[in-house]
């Protein structure tokens, strides 16, 4: 058997009630939520009872997803499932860095709360949006985006799936061009042009936050959104940079597979990363945390 990787999802898969089943079943998950509630009162209530609109606000989405994902990882590790490598998509990379040992859980959660606040504040400065473009190559998407000075290809997810960020008023015309080229542009449930130059202010401010905390050496191989490769000692630089930089997810997964990973467990409320990984390489095993726990009899 090859190596096992935990991959932590980003914004978009959140839903009201996420995390409640694992908290009700596993004390290890309840302990993580208790820690989050002490630092940010109401986090559990927001996860379990918040509306879809409330959870879609970046300042809420990020701490709620962090809580759910770290809780699920704690359950897996308590059951003896420990990763050889970790990665996270966008905010999921903060969870991955925490699991890898760069931050203690309290510091990781405080950082992700601040990250969400900074990105939401930056998003409110411009009327922006994101869309997933499917059925076109990355080169085709880039060629169409070049016609629009306010739209950027930002997430290279898997073959035939590239996310763009940009000015909301340009998205209609951009989407029409995508359709004319044989693709589809699907609006995402996020409020901001993440991983684009519109987020540079948040990236700079988050870099200042990271300078205030202790960052330890990671104990588990940690892969970077910005490079698609393992981190070295540049955790603070890459974690801040990724807020305004493209996510090279397809490269990251291919590099993990090249380094011996053949089993991926998606830790998050949905199956977006699982579906992407299967499109990148259908020979590897990719399961959601829910599927893994059910199949393991937990």
Regarding whether 138 and 246 lie in a shared domain, the answer is no
pLDDT (0 to 100) of residue 233: 80
Kindly report the pTM of this predicted structure.
0.94
Q: Are residues 254 and 115 in the same domain?
A: yes
Same domain, 85 and 163: no
Going 227 to 229 to 234 to 235, the CA torsion angle's sign is positive
Q: In terms of domains, do 157 and 244 share one?
A: no
Q: Are residues 139 and 165 in the same domain?
A: yes
Query: Where among 187, 204, 236 does a domain terminate?
Result: 187
Residues 183 and 241 in one domain: no
Assess whether 175 carries a catalytic annotation: no
In total, how many domains does the chain have? 2
pLDDT at 298: 65
Task: Check whether residue 170 and residue 231 sit in a common domain.
Answer: no
224 carries an active-site annotation: no
236, 98: one domain? yes
Active-site annotation holder among 90, 165, 175, 196: 90
Tokens of 160: 């035939």
145 and 62 in a common domain: no
Same domain, 183 and 285: no
CATH number at residue 139: 3.30.70.250
CATH of the domain at 118: 3.40.366.10
Each residue's pLDDT, cut to its tens digit, for the chain (298 residues) gives 689 999 999 998 899 999 999 999 999 999 999 999 999 999 999 999 999 999 989 999 999 999 999 999 999 999 999 999 999 999 999 999 999 999 999 999 999 999 999 999 999 999 999 999 999 999 999 999 999 999 999 999 999 999 999 999 999 999 999 999 999 999 987 778 999 999 999 999 999 999 999 999 999 999 999 999 999 888 999 999 999 999 999 999 999 999 999 999 999 999 999 999 999 999 999 999 999 888 876 6
Question: From the candidates 195, 196, 240, 245, which is the catalytic residue?
Answer: 195
CA triplet 288, 199, 131: central angle to 5 degrees?
A: 50
Instruction: For residues 138 and 258, state if they share a domain.
Output: no
214 and 243 belong to one structural domain: yes
State which of 160, 187, 214 marks the end of a domain. 187
Domain boundaries, position 180 = 128-187
Say what the alpha-carbon torsion angle 238, 168, 11, 3 is, to the nearest 10 degrees. -60
């Amino acid at each position: 058997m090859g190596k096992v990787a935990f991959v932590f999802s980003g914004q978009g898969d959140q839903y009201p009630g996420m995390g409640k089943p694992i908290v009700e079943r596993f004390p290890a998950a309840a302990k993580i939520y208790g820690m989050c509630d002490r630092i940010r009162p109401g986090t559990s209530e927001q996860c379990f009872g918040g509306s879809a609109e409330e959870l879609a606000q970046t300042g809420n989405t990020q701490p709620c997803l962090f809580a759910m994902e770290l809780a699920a990882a704690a359950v897996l590790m308590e059951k003896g499932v420990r990763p050889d490598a970790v990665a996270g998509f966008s905010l999921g990379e903060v969870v991955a860095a925490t699991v890898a040992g760069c931050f203690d859980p309290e510091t990781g959660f405080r950082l992700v709360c601040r990250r969400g606040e900074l990105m939401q504040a930056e998003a409110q400065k411009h009327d922006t949006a994101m869309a997933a473009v499917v059925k076109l190559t990355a080169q085709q998407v880039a060629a169409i985006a070049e016609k629009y000075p306010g739209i950027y290809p930002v997430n290279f997810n898997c073959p035939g799936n590239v996310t763009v960020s940009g000015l909301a008023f340009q998205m209609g015309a951009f989407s029409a061009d995508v359709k004319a080229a044989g693709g589809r542009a699907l609006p995402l449930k996020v409020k901001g042009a993440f991983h684009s130059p519109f987020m540079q202010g948040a990236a700079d401010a988050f870099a200042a936050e990271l300078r205030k905390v202790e960052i330890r050496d990671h104990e588990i191989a940690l892969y970077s959104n910005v490079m698609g490769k393992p981190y070295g000692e540049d955790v603070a630089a890459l974690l801040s940079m990724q807020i305004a930089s493209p996510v090279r997810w397809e490269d990251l997964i291919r590099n993990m597979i090249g380094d011996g990973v053949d089993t991926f467990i998606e830790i998050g409320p949905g199956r977006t990363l699982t579906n992407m990984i299967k499109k990148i390489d259908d020979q590897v095993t990719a399961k959601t945390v829910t599927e893994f726990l059910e199949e393991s009899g937990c």
